[in-house]
Amino acid sequence: MQHMAQLSPGREQSQGAAVEVRGLGHIYAGRDGAVPALADIDLTVPAGRFVVIVGPSGCGKTSLLMMLAGLRTQTSGTILVDGRPIATPDPSRVGVVFQEASLYPWLTAVENVEFPLVLKNAPRDERRARAEAMLNLVGLSGFGGRYPHELSGGMKQRVSIARGLVQDPPVLLMDEPFAALDEQTRMTMGHELLRIWSQTSKTVVFITHSLTEAVYLADEVIVMSARPGRILDRVPIDLPRPRTYQMMATDVFGALRERVWHQIRDVP
Amino acid sequence: MSTAAVILIRIGLLAVFLGAWEFLPRTGIVNPMLLPPLSLVIDTLFDILGRGDFREAMLVTTAEVLVAFIIAVPLGGAIGVLAAEHAYFGAIFRPMLFYVFSIPKSIFLPMFILAFGIGFEQKVAYATFSTIFIVIMSASAAVESVKADYVLVAQSYGATRAQILRRIYIPSMMPILLETLRISMIFNFTGVMIAEMYASRTGVGHMIANWGENFMLPQLFAGVVVLAVAAMSFNELVRYMEARCSTWRS
């Protein structure tokens, strides 16, 4: 914290951290009284960083993400996104990509992507152009007229990413976006996500169960413990970018993956 | 099998059915007193369609069906949505609604006659009563069919309650709502017919019951044809709308 004290808070918030979590705790009312879900979470994600959170099921990863999206309120502690608290969802600051394909089946791909802009009553031409540009970015130009059931699993998640980016938020939150995909598609999508990320310079907070995916994608892997979720380790991933599939076979990659695995395995 | 073959076979079966209707009574294999030949029924059909009393009966029946439908569907829909969305209302009334839904509605008909007489109001009240429960059940099911994920996504993009209702609930529920329209019309039409046939002074149901009692089989069949065509037309109209919605239904 000392080095932070040397900077003015304003500068730290506006230029340093896209996401700033301090002393966050969460307790929810369970059947047998209060259940601590998250405890002592401190997390600073500098702008433009790719941070991956891993941890056992039920460790509160998704809860944390919901709080960063303004969809849930924490019991204690503060969250600053782009320098300001986020009490309610703010799509101009945060885009969310959900588990599975949470696309609306009654809307076409391009209509799904422009949905957040429809909510803002953006002019039709403007939002359509923006949505088409996003589909283009995720490699789906020409597929805008398709309905979700006419798209493959990977394509659906591309549409979801396009929807998350359509309002150009500085922060993209992703909750196990590729969990439902087969291994091959998953690898391809991870690679594609890195391409999109490098082209848009977003800050990404990404949740996954796959350690390989975590190490492959991340600048930093945050390892969380079982309930109540605490941060056990922060593993910087110093592999060069752009990442390549070949890196997965290297000793460095294996050692990083092993370090993360140890932390999770030791959790009772 | 190709679509063309299916359609050809359907047409063939229809021709066999209509042919049998004509020739079985004509050849005496089936008693023509019980099943008048098709041609005679069609002649009678045009005959009764030209009669003032039948036209008036059709108007009365149509009015009863429409008024009961216009009352039962929005009211049942509102109760159904409330039962699904409002925790307390649902907890209190849902079991009762389910119990009453299981009872055959026709056994209440005598009470409706005592309360409303045998006129227009009674037909509407009874048809509304016999329709509203299926609407309530279906509307509840429609609300419950809206996936929580869809709502969460909309919330994450800052949707207001009104926007969630308009952009998520209505389109999600549309297929079930259209299905509800179709099925509730079947219940509604049946309700009006039973009420008219049981005790009435007018209406197509009343005339059909009369023709049956007086052994006027050609008229009876002609009346049945008119009602069947009306019911099927409405059904197909809603099914056409459903098909337009179903581009995204997998």
Across the interface, which of B150, B156, B245 has its CB nearest the CB of A69? B156
Query: CA-to-CA distance for B237 and B231, rounded, in angstroms?
Result: 10
Question: What's the average model confidence in pLDDT over A218-234?
Answer: 90
Q: What is the DSSP letter of A170?
A: S
**pTM of the predicted structure, to 2 decimals:** 0.78
**Is residue B17 in some structural domain?**
no
Is residue B91 one of the residues assigned to a domain?
A: yes
What is chain B's alpha carbon radius of gyration, rounded to the nearest angstrom?
22
**Interface test mutation site (partner B, options A86, A111, A119, max chain B beta carbons within 10 A):** A119
Closest CB to B248 among A96, A102, A147? A147
* Helix spans in A43-174 (H): 61-68, 109-119, 124-137, 153-165
Contact A102/B153, CB-based, under 8 Å? yes
Residue A139 has pLDDT above 80, yes or no: yes
The three-state secondary structure class of B207 is: helix
Angstroms from A71 CA to nearest CA on chain B: 6
Q: Does A143 touch chain B (CB under 8 A)?
A: no
Q: Which residue of B has its CA nearest to A103?
A: B150
Chain A closest-CA separation from residue B18 CA (Å): 42
Strands A17-30 and A33-46: antiparallel
> Which helix or strand (DSSP H or E) is residue A22 part of?
strand A17-30
Note down pLDDT in tens along chain B; length 250 residues.
688 999 999 999 999 999 999 999 999 899 988 999 999 999 999 999 999 999 999 999 999 999 999 999 999 999 998 898 888 888 898 888 888 888 999 999 999 999 999 999 999 999 999 999 999 999 998 998 888 889 999 999 999 989 999 999 988 888 888 889 999 999 999 999 999 999 888 899 999 999 999 999 999 999 999 999 999 999 998 888 888 776 655 4
Structural domain contains residue B165: yes
What is the domain-level CATH number for residue B161? 1.10.3720.10
Per-residue model confidence (pLDDT) at position B247: 61
| CA distance linking residue B180 with residue B134, whole number of Å | 8
- Residues of chain A positioned with their CB less than 8 A from the CB of B152: 71, 98, 102
Total structural domains within chain B? 1
How far apart are alpha carbons B216 and B113 in whole angstroms? 27
pLDDT at A7: 39
Residue range of the domain that includes B208: 50-248
Cβ-Cβ contacts under 8 Å for A157 (sequence gap 6 or more): A97, A101, A177, A178, A181, A189
The answer to whether A98 contacts B153, with C-beta atoms less than 8 Å apart, is yes
In whole angstroms, give the CA distance from residue A94 to residue B76.
40
* Residue B207 belongs to some domain of the structure: yes
Q: Where are the alpha helices (DSSP H) in B50-146?
A: 52-85, 87-102, 109-116, 120-144
pLDDT at residue B219, rounded to an integer: 94
Please check whether residue B3 lies inside any domain of the structure: no
Query: pLDDT per residue over A11-46, tens digit each?
Result: 334 456 899 999 999 988 888 888 888 889 999 999
Among B150, B156, B249, select the one facing A89 at the smallest CB separation.
B156
Task: Identify which of A91, A105, A106 has the shortest CB distance to residue B157.
Answer: A91
Interface test with B, best of A72, A106, A156 (most B CBs within 10 A): A106
Of B149, B157, B174, the CB nearest to A115: B157
Query: What is the tally of helices (H) and strands (E) in chain B?
Result: 11, 0
Q: How many angstroms separate the CA atoms of A92 and A94, rounded?
A: 6
In a domain, B131, yes or no: yes
* Nearest neighbour of B171 by CB, restricted to A94, A106, A118: A106
Say how many CB pairs under 8 Å bridge A and B.
59
Could you tell me if residue B235 is inside a domain?
yes
Nearest CA-CA partner of B135 in B178, B92, B199:
B178
Contacts of A71 in chain B (CB under 8 A): 152, 155-156
Residues of chain B contacting A89 with CB distance shorter than 8 Å? 155-158
Residues 161-200 of A with CB under 8 A from B: 167
Q: Name the CATH code of domain A2-93+169-265 (choices 3.40.50.300, 2.90.10.10, 3.40.50.920, 3.30.360.10).
A: 3.40.50.300
Cβ-based neighbours of B64, under 8 Å, separated by 6 or more: B120, B123, B124, B127, B192, B196, B203
Interface residue A90 vs chain B (CB under 8 A): yes
* Measured distance CA(A167)–CA(B162) in Å, rounded: 21
Please check whether residue B144 lies inside any domain of the structure: yes
